[in-house]
Structure 1
């Protein structure tokens, strides 16, 4: 069954359906959605039963007033009391049973939302995670699912109870004395008018903006926490981290503008009227009492309505929170559906196997979502099997984009990316990933041992194979300084590594994977001279397979010293392949690469001198 069929919230084309938020939510609960309906029904019955004590009070007041002042003659008072107690206990029992049902459905719904969103994201293209921050995705997958629990477990049964309460309240308003009932409707009408005011104008769409602000604050907050060491080094505060500071300010302004400027007066007016509902009975009684034939009955009705009016604040407050909960749930389920609609790496019905390990880009164009200019514009080049091809060029030229199309982090908008003569879109994604190993400039280690971090590339690898890969990646000095060697847990008890050392561990992963194609993206970006020398030695080992045969290597580099020995160099500028050839050929051509090489040579020859002027 597809995600769309399971959730009922996403159409075949990936667009959210226009059905109600509650219906889309309940689709996640599966068979347990029936418990939601049962729980809501029990909650509604519970609310109707809760009116029993008020009716018993009316009967008791009627009998007492009828025999006043001979109170002992009212012999049915005790029975009314027991009936009232029975109604109260029954109401609580029904409500508790209803909540048990809705909680079981709510927990299953939230669990399924998390599972299905996570399972879908596991098949999403890796490029999707470059454009969606981890903090924002965590907020969507976990936070939005948690918000729906409150709606299904509490707000939905309370809504059913509120509807039953309002219907029952309106009936009781006019059962005993329609004039006093009409007086009780005045604060209800005022409260409803205030609510409509709060939900109109700025209130329309507030919950969507509110959730967007929360997601943004969560995302930038995660980035801020990761950047705390930098802030501390430079003695800065949160104001220096402009994105997080602005997100907090935006959320503050949004909340204050809505709560204070838009809702403060109508909310205060609503609470004042519904809390003083009994006050509206007094002038009505004063007007009708002089002409009333049965004053005792009027007094009984007045007592009933004065006590029963206490239900009004509860009913109206539930209605108010009910609308807020539905807005929140609608936004939450929409965001989860967006995550479930994330583009996935589709497996072809009849996958093809490549004939060799060559890589080819044929007239490839690609534009990132929301970008005005293409990242790649009709780019073509080839990497023969066993050859090393380097991508160089100015920043933003499209080097990383071109490399990321090979393992299908993204799919080309036009043109063809092929491995062994087969379009990568016609290959089984698992087969493609098994054939490609990649080392990026931004790598993260798990909070596990170094052994398990490297073994992640091939979980079935033995300890000896992991140690051999680490040695081949020039990591012996790293293991020597760790307290427990390869079994040291990264990040525990102050165990951290430099960027260059982490890069060597990533190369060890790639060596252990033993994939025939290797993609390197700025692999020496964080390396000091000593680490760079070791990384270069690790590259030479990585470029050879376990059997000694050369691997196919596509490398992205800014340090031109790392690409001199490449079999071919492709120069990318503004999304186009402007030059191709060996180092010597490109230098003789006198084009962009030759200028970049001249700049590089001047940079490496620059040094601080002890001469009188200070700089040579």
Structure 2
């Protein structure tokens, strides 16, 4: 299906998403064209009225067919409206199905991508593509395609009317149409096409930067900053404004002036023609009738051409949206082995593993090897940027190793079914998210079929009894807006409860105590003890006190293994770990002495300030 959409290209690719409702688009376009032709009916009736009145002038009562023509004109007008409405109903049904299927297809494809894909892309950017780009296609399919068919029908009708009444006056009416087409082609091609791509890119950037800004508002308020503190957001707005002003003011001004002048001044084209032709007309009454017809009919032309102009804009936006949707759909999903293997145990092994992020020059992990036996705890420590989190993310296949192998139970993780691998691994990150659901639902996210008793047991094991006790409805209390809020340390304990409830044999802990206060850290450490019992644990920590009891410590520096061993053995080596431990002890014992405070106060007072 994806290959079929890719081959279709453009409108065909979009309509492929409409499925069995694709035919409604073509039906709607046909009805719109029919509606446009029916809308000519009243003008033709007016011509007949003018013809009969001029023929019997000044004996107006002799024109007996006037009322009949009037009713025919009303009938044509009503029929045109009804048919156009039916056409829009058809195209809207197809457009809504198309946009819905685009959202479903992109969302479904995102679920198949490695989790690392989402770390590399902002949520605002993905939301804009999945939701905003799908919505932008609705305008094209629901309104613009029927308008295109209507405009084509208008041109065809004009050509027919050229011969039916007076081809010379009809040709004069077509001159502004040709000028309008040329002006719109100038705006929509070349720099115009590049602008639409830049315009959609600017919207994505503003959406991305705006999301980051909204999330950072608490920081802005605390430090009394302005929007300028969020340089990316400010620059995204300014760049968008300058780009739009430059395009509209510099590139589009002249073509649009020509376009509007030609369309709204249409009478200026055929009036001189009429004045030149009038003296030589043998049947002057018929000529005046034809002139009256084209004078009235010319009002249709600007409306139809304006619709075409918006069609060009919508088609460019849809083309760019489709390109961005292709960007998501073209991302390689997580590879699934055709003959998946089951892990023979719960041990973890890295065999000469290397990994480089897309676009990076240096590898984040460079020829790393270590072994985590079943039921043991391995700690990854080292300077920031050393590759600790990257190593941890390779175990559950957030990314696949560029070289080497990551083994779980003796099997390369790439040969394990992704669902089974996820069942084998539980994670606790340094920043965890709670849903706007009840406490029970948040914990039950790890295992949806868990009973309330199992949820309570997991919460108790994660040292969350005090959290449950303070909530008004216990585990049935809603969290988030309109409900209760938890502190950072409490959120971490709830995340641990999730991991405990999942009961996975392998646990990955990434800086799980990073934002916890001393009281919460003590409770989290107790929860760790329960979580690690009988499980294989890979933990990352900057607080070295949390890894002292690990069975093995691997020190990573610049993506490589600098040293490894137990806490005591590494201290005895006097290497990088020993230096980090000494720095940690100094930081842990550091405090502001009374002498330092007094000296600071004296310095401020000496400058005439207040303490």
Partner residue, 2:606: none
Query: What is the RMSD computed on CA atoms of the aligned residues?
Result: 1.8
**The one of 220, 242, 247 aligned to 2:236:** 247
Q: What does 1:111-126 correspond to in 2, within 5 Å? A: 111-126=100-115
Instruction: State the Cα deviation string for residues 190-220 of structure 1 (Å, max 9, x = none).
Output: 2222212212342122222111111121122
Instruction: State the Cα deviation string for residues 473-503 of structure 1 (Å, max 9, x = none).
Output: 1112222322222222111446222211111
- Is the Cα contact below 8 Å between 1:379 and 1:577 reproduced in 2? yes
Q: Please, which moves more after superposition, 589-598 or 125-134?
A: 589-598
Partner residue, 1:516: 505
- Is the Cα contact below 8 Å between 1:125 and 1:408 reproduced in 2? yes
Instruction: State the Cα deviation string for residues 355-381 of structure 1 (Å, max 9, x = none).
Output: 111101111111112222211112111
Alignment of 1:505 with 2:494, yes or no, is yes
Alignment of 1:84 with 2:61, yes or no, is no
Whole-Å separation in 2 of the counterparts to 1:443 and 1:300: 78
- Is the Cα contact below 8 Å between 2:193 and 2:316 reproduced in 1? no
Q: Please, which moves more after superposition, 406-415 or 249-258?
A: 249-258
Whole-Å separation in 2 of the counterparts to 1:509 and 1:240: 37
- What is the CA-CA distance between 1:75 and the residue it aligns to? 2.0
- What is the CA-CA distance between 1:521 and the residue it aligns to? 0.5
Partner residue, 1:9: 5
Q: What does 1:124-143 correspond to in 2, within 5 Å? A: 124-143=113-132
Whole-Å separation in 2 of the counterparts to 1:185 and 1:452: 67
Where 2:5 maps in the other structure, the secondary structure is: coil
- Is the Cα contact below 8 Å between 2:354 and 2:402 reproduced in 1? yes
Where 2:17 maps in the other structure, the secondary structure is: helix
Alignment of 1:384 with 2:373, yes or no, is yes
Alignment of 1:557 with 2:541, yes or no, is yes
Alignment of 1:576 with 2:565, yes or no, is no
- Is the Cα contact below 8 Å between 1:9 and 1:337 reproduced in 2? no
Q: Please, which moves more after superposition, 334-343 or 395-404?
A: 334-343
**The one of 443, 451, 458 aligned to 2:432:** 443
- Is the Cα contact below 8 Å between 1:424 and 1:432 reproduced in 2? yes
Q: What does 1:485-504 correspond to in 2, within 5 Å? A: 485-493=474-482, 495-504=484-493
Q: Please, which moves more after superposition, 86-95 or 425-434?
A: 86-95
**The one of 586, 596, 605 aligned to 1:602:** 586
Where 1:9 maps in the other structure, the secondary structure is: helix
Whole-Å separation in 2 of the counterparts to 1:515 and 1:220: 37
After TM superposition, which residue ranges in structure 1, 4 or more long, deviate above 4 angstroms?
A: 612-616
- What is the CA-CA distance between 1:612 and the residue it aligns to? 5.5
Instruction: State the Cα deviation string for residues 315-343 of structure 1 (Å, max 9, x = none).
Output: 21111111111111112222223223333
- What is the CA-CA distance between 1:420 and the residue it aligns to? 0.8
Give the count of matched residue pairs. Answer: 600
Q: Please, which moves more after superposition, 359-368 or 221-230?
A: 221-230
Unaligned runs of 5+ in 2: 601-611
**The one of 55, 72, 85 aligned to 2:44:** 55
**The one of 85, 88, 97 aligned to 1:99:** 88
**The one of 348, 367, 374 aligned to 2:337:** 348
Whole-Å separation in 1 of the counterparts to 2:209 and 2:458: 37
Partner residue, 1:410: 399
Whole-Å separation in 1 of the counterparts to 2:595 and 2:86: 88
Partner residue, 2:283: 294
- Is the Cα contact below 8 Å between 2:136 and 2:321 reproduced in 1? yes
Q: What does 1:319-358 correspond to in 2, within 5 Å? A: 319-358=308-347
Q: What does 1:425-436 correspond to in 2, within 5 Å? A: 425-436=414-425
Whole-Å separation in 2 of the counterparts to 1:378 and 1:162: 64
Where 1:382 maps in the other structure, the secondary structure is: strand
Report the TM-score when normalising by structure 1. Answer: 0.94
Q: What does 1:518-557 correspond to in 2, within 5 Å? A: 518-544=507-533, 550-557=534-541
Whole-Å separation in 2 of the counterparts to 1:615 and 1:384: 54
Q: Judging changes above 3 Å, is the alpha-carbon distance between structure 1 residues 260 and 415 closer, same or farther for their aligned structure 2 residues?
A: same
Where 1:554 maps in the other structure, the secondary structure is: strand
Alignment of 1:269 with 2:269, yes or no, is no
- What is the CA-CA distance between 1:312 and the residue it aligns to? 1.3
- What is the CA-CA distance between 1:585 and the residue it aligns to? 1.8
Alignment of 1:147 with 2:145, yes or no, is no
- Is the Cα contact below 8 Å between 2:46 and 2:293 reproduced in 1? yes
Q: Judging changes above 3 Å, is the alpha-carbon distance between structure 1 residues 174 and 205 closer, same or farther for their aligned structure 2 residues?
A: farther
Unaligned runs of 5+ in 1: 11-16, 545-549
- Is the Cα contact below 8 Å between 1:520 and 1:553 reproduced in 2? yes
